[in-house]
Amino acid sequence: MQVSELQQIYLSLGANLGNREANLQQAIELIKERLGEVIAISSFIETAAWGKTDQPDFLNLALLVATNYSPLKALTIIQEIEHQLGRERKEKWGARLIDIDIIFWDNQVISEVQLTVPHPLMHERTFVLIPMAEIAPEMEHPVLKRKMKELLESLEKQEATKS
């Protein structure tokens, strides 16, 4: 299903198996072909695994994409891209060739069985916030009512007090 006007969506991409950079570049190309126009791409950042930490480091980035698909159709396309690139869902937060998450869908709050937007854990993850703060520092989280740069600063302070 397509909607009549373009929606701006933010995606977080990560990979920690195989040729991580090539996997991410291939995912970007497939997103351009199937989902919509890629408007902004963050720098690549390398981060330690989150959640399940006994695995290789991830290479991450964020994208801003303009699409005319509905959120659930976009999710289906993203999951097809992950599958085509070899993603296997064996364990939660496990190692993977590619991971693509929808972080924001315009300023909407979406709560479906298959999809929750904004991504419910994004504000706890530096690997999401660093690239998001790079491409959209003034973007405001529609639930938390805080900008990406503020969420990143807050998380970095929390992490600094833990170490």
- Write out the catalytic residue numbers: 87, 96, 99, 101
Beta carbons within 10 angstroms of residue 48's beta carbon: 12
Consecutive H or E run containing 21 = helix 20-34
List CB contacts of 97: < 8 A, sequence separation 6 or more: 15, 17, 18, 23, 85, 86, 87
CB 4 within 8 A of CB 68: yes
Distance CA 69, CA 82 (A): 18
Q: How far is CA 28 from CA 20, 24, 85, 121, 148, in A?
A: 12, 6, 11, 23, 22
User: How many C-beta atoms surround the C-beta of residue 24 within 10 A?
Assistant: 24
